[in-house]
Chain A
Amino acid sequence: MLIANEVTREYRSGDQEIAVLRNVSFTIPQGAFVAIVGPSGSGKTTLLGLLAGLDTPTSGKVILDGHDLTAMSENERAKLRGEKVGFVFQSFQLIPTLTARENIQVPLELQGTPGAAARADELLERIGLARRGHHFPMQLSGGEQQRVAIARAFSNAPRILFADEPTGNLDAGTGARVFELLESLNREAGSTIVLVTHDAALAERAGRTIRLSDGAIVGDTEAAA
Chain B
Amino acid sequence: MSARSAQLISLTWRESRGARRRLLLYMSAISLGVAALVAIDSFADNVTRSIREQSRSLLGGDIAFSSRRPFTKEQKAILDTVQKRSSAQFARVTTFPSMGLVQRSGKTRLVQVRAVSPNFPFYGVITTTPAGRWSSLQSGPVALVDPSLLVALDARLGDTLSLGMMKFVIGATLKDVPGTPGVAEIIGPRVFIPEKYLPETQLLVFGSTAEYGVLAKLPSSADPRKVVNPIRSSLDKQQLRAVTVTQSQENATEAIQQLSQFIGIVGLVALLLGGVGVASGVRAFVSRKIDTVAILRCLGASSGQVLAMYVVQAAAMGILGAIAGAAIGIAVQFGLASVFGDFLPVDVEVTLEPAAIMTGIVIGGWIALIFSLRPLLALRNVSPLQTLRRDADSEVLRMRWNDVPRVLVNVALIGSVVLIAVLRATDLKQGLGFSAATLGVIAVLTLAAIFLSFVARKALRSGWPYVIRQGVANLYRPANQTRSVILSLGFGAFLITTLYLVQSNLLKRFEFNAAASQANLVFFDIQDDQLEGVDSIVSAKGRIVQSAPIVTMRISRINDRPVERIVADSRARRRSDSLARAQGGAAAESVRKRNADEADARKRGAPPRQSGRAGWALNREYRSTYRDTVTSGEKITSGKWFSSAALDGSSDTTEMSLEEDVAEELRVKLGDVITWNVQGVEIPARVTSLRQVTWTRFEPNFFAVFASAAFRSAPKQHVILASVADGMTVATLQRDIVSRYPNVSSIDLTLVKETVARIVAKVSTAMRFMALFSLAMGIPVLFAAVAATRRDRIREGVLLKTLGATRGQIIRILLAEYTLLGLLGSLTGMVLAIGGGWAVTHYVFEASYAPALVPALGIAALMLGLTVAIGLLAGRDVFKETPMSALRDI
Contact = CB atoms under 8 A, between A and B. Distances in A.
A and B form one complex:
yes
Interface of A: 45, 48-49, 52, 54-55, 74-75, 78-83, 85, 87, 89, 93-98, 102, 106-107, 109-112, 114, 116, 152, 156, 164
Contacts of A87: 298-299, 387
A152 B296 CA distance: 12
B387 A82 contact: no
B296 A114 contact: no
A20 B216 CA distance: 96
B345 to A, nearest CB: 57
B458 interface: no
Nearest to B306: A78
Contact of B7 (A80, A82, A96, A112): A112
Interface in B770-818: none
Contact of B302 (A75, A102, A164): A75
Contacts of B8: 109-110
A107 B14 CA distance: 15
Given A78-B302, A97-B16, A110-B300, 11 more contacts: A54-B385, A54-B388, A55-B383, A78-B301, A81-B384, A82-B299, A87-B387, A106-B299, A110-B8, A152-B299, A164-B388
A203 B303 CA distance: 35
A96 B3 CA distance: 25
B297 A78 contact: yes
Contact of A93 (B11, B15, B387): B387
A87 B389 CA distance: 15
Contacts of A111: 4, 300
A93 B384 CA distance: 11
A49 B391 CA distance: 15
B3 A112 contact: yes
Contacts of B17: 97-98
13 contacts: A45-B389, A54-B388, A78-B302, A78-B384, A93-B291, A95-B296, A98-B15, A98-B17, A106-B296, A109-B7, A110-B11, A156-B300, A164-B388
A103 to B, nearest CB: 9
A75 B668 CA distance: 76
Contacts of B291: 93
A48 to B, nearest CB: 7
B195 to A, nearest CB: 80
Nearest to A45: B388
Contacts of B305: 110
B680 interface: no
A79 B14 CA distance: 22
A78 B300 contact: yes
Interface of B: 2-4, 7-8, 10-11, 14-19, 291-292, 294-305, 383-385, 387-389
A65 B242 CA distance: 90
Contacts of A85: 300
B11 A106 contact: yes
Nearest to A92: B295
Contacts of B4: 111-112
Contacts of A152: 299
Contacts of B14: 97-98, 102
Given A75-B303, A83-B300, A111-B300, A97 B15 contact: yes
B300 A107 contact: yes
Nearest to B304: A75
A77 B192 CA distance: 88
B385 A95 contact: no
B383 A81 contact: no
Identify whether the interface residues of A are mostly helix, strand, loop, or mixed.
helix
A55 B385 contact: yes
Contact of B385 (A49, A98, A106, A109): A49
Contacts of B10: 109
Contacts of A112: 2-4, 7
A22 to B, nearest CB: 19
A49 B304 CA distance: 22
Contacts of B297: 78
Nearest to B2: A112
B299 A97 contact: no
A53 B475 CA distance: 38
A97 B285 CA distance: 14
Contacts of A79: 300, 302
A200 B304 CA distance: 41
B299 A54 contact: no
A96 B18 contact: yes
Nearest to A196: B388
Nearest to A152: B299
A112 B6 CA distance: 9
A112 B11 CA distance: 11
Given A54-B383, A81-B300, A110-B301, A95 B388 contact: no
A156 to B, nearest CB: 8
A97 B384 contact: no
Contacts of A164: 388
Contacts of A109: 7-8, 10-11
A45 B387 CA distance: 11
Nearest to B291: A93
Contacts of B300: 78-83, 85, 107, 110-111, 156
A54 B17 CA distance: 27
Nearest to A50: B385
Contacts of A114: 3
Given A78-B297, A96-B18, A109-B10, A89 B304 contact: no
A83 B302 CA distance: 12
Nearest to B390: A91
B292 A97 contact: yes
B2 A95 contact: no
Contacts of A54: 298, 383-385, 387-388
Contact of B15 (A75, A80, A95): A95
A52 B297 CA distance: 12
Which 10 pairs show the lowest CB-CB distances between chains A and B?
A82-B300, A112-B4, A109-B7, A75-B302, A97-B17, A54-B384, A54-B385, A110-B300, A97-B18, A107-B299
Nearest to B8: A109
B1 to A, nearest CB: 11
A48 B388 contact: yes
Contact of A110 (B3, B296, B303, B387): B296
A142 B2 CA distance: 37
Nearest to B301: A110
A48 B14 CA distance: 30
Contacts of A83: 300
B441 to A, nearest CB: 38
A156 B19 CA distance: 28
Nearest to A91: B387
Contact of A81 (B298, B304, B385, B389): B298
